[in-house]
């Protein structure tokens, strides 16, 4: 069991049904479990503040997994998995008027000696975003996060809190600025804003595959609706990134997330998704659009919690001028130097945690990318 995190295992009855599943998921919520994993021939595992802990004392049989799939998602999902395709589903239930929502991925897998096994990952979708001031953002991020014109990218690996940060920001703007109209395009819709006391138009959320066919089409839809801010769940292809850049260059605030690990990598990735003969043109447009890049990770701390570490850069006039005078292929080296010189790089943030005694040297080296000799 992971150090500093203890959870008493749930006594999940054999051949459990829908009622027992709801009891178990309610137990998981009470234990602050963010991710739940059911696998053939394994105990049920959960993630608590970045640590993996066993949630059941016994292993789950293949027949129980198949029954769980049929009861919760319909019998047809088993055929989808057997055809070699994974499946994404939503799961929700109500406990004392409190709705629990999960984003679910179902995949075929070899688990141990079960070569025809199934792995189900259920990720919690919180209903209400936290207050923006609870995230303890550095002033350089907090003061520059609102950009009614230009491109803002919030980056990091899966589970690093990108959506939490963006949702807290959208809720804060909606509750404080009556002149802002926010349109969000997500896959799936995660945080809800039903409890936000908006002073202007309510936040409009659209789900890819349900309300709009793609993120890129979502941006084109937004351009016809005269928004102030456009939020894109993930910028991962040339069509979406190109549409975001165009939107930000035509007088909108465009916000998106990317799975990158540093400021220099983010600019490089945004260019590299395009065909080679378009790199120079998209680099020029990207430079005109960029306002802020934030990269965030969540690091397990010695007290059993997690701390956010962020790398960021606001692209002011001087930085953009310097970048415009060099080939885009040199941007990476330049941006690494600038971010480090400003003390806004990931290593500086990790060093601050180390100096405060919140992490040990092994954790520092792991997340800083240094070899442990």
Q: Are 6 and 55 in contact (CB under 8 A)?
A: no
Domain 18-124 fold is Beta-Lactamase (3.30.450)
Bridge partners, residue 13, by sequence? none
Q: Check residue 2 and give its pLDDT.
A: 44
Can you give the pLDDT at residue 371? Answer: 64
pLDDT of residue 190: 82
Q: What is the pLDDT of residues 21-80, one digit of tens each?
A: 889 988 998 898 989 999 999 999 999 888 899 999 999 998 998 888 888 888 888 888
Q: Could you read off the pLDDT of 252-267 as tens digits, one per residue?
A: 999 999 999 999 999 9
- CATH number for the domain formed by residue range(s) 132-368: 3.40.50.300
Q: What ranges do the domains of the chain cover?
A: 18-124, 132-368
Low-confidence ranges of the chain (pLDDT < 70): 1-4, 95-98, 371-373
């Amino acid at each position: 069991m992971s150090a500093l995190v203890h959870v008493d295992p749930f006594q999940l009855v054999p051949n459990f049904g829908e009622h027992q599943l709801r009891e178990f998921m309610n137990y998981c919520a009470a234990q602050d479990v963010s991710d739940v994993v059911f696998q053939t021939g394994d105990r049920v595992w959960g993630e608590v503040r970045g640590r993996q802990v066993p949630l059941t004392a016994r292993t789950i049989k293949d027949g129980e997994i198949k029954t769980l799939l049929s009861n919760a998602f319909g019998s047809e999902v088993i055929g989808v998995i057997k055809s070699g395709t994974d499946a994404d589903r939503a799961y929700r239930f109500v406990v004392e008027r409190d709705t629990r929502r999960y984003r679910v991925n179902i995949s075929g897998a070899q688990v141990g000696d079960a070569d025809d096994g199934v792995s189900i990952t259920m990720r919690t979708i919180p209903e209400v975003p936290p207050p923006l001031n609870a995230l303890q953002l550095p002033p350089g991020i907090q003061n520059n996060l609102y950009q009614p014109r230009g491109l803002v990218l919030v980056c990091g690996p899966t589970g690093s809190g990108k959506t939490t940060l963006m949702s807290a920001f959208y809720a804060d703007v909606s509750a404080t600025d009556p002149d802002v109209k926010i349109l969000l395009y997500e896959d799936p819709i995660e945080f809800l804003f039903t409890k936000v006391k908006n002073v202007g138009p309510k936040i409009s959320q659209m789900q890819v595959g349900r309300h709009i066919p793609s993120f890129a089409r979502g941006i084109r839809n937004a351009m016809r609706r005269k928004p102030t801010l456009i939020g894109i769940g993930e910028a991962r292809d040339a069509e979406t990134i190109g549409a975001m850049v165009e939107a930000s260059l035509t007088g909108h605030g465009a916000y998106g997330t990317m799975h990158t690990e540093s400021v220099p990598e983010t600019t490089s990735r945004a260019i590299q998704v395009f065909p080679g003969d378009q790199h120079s043109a998209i680099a020029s447009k990207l430079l005109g659009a960029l306002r802020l890049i934030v990269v965030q990770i969540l690091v397990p701390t010695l007290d059993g919690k997690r701390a956010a570490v962020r790398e960021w850069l606001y692209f002011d006039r001087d930085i953009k001028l310097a970048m415009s005078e060099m080939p885009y292929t040199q941007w990476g080296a330049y941006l690494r130097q600038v971010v480090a010189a400003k003390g806004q790089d990931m290593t500086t943030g990790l060093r601050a945690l180390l100096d405060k005694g919140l992490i040990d040297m092994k954790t520092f080296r792991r997340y800083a990318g240094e070899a442990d000799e």
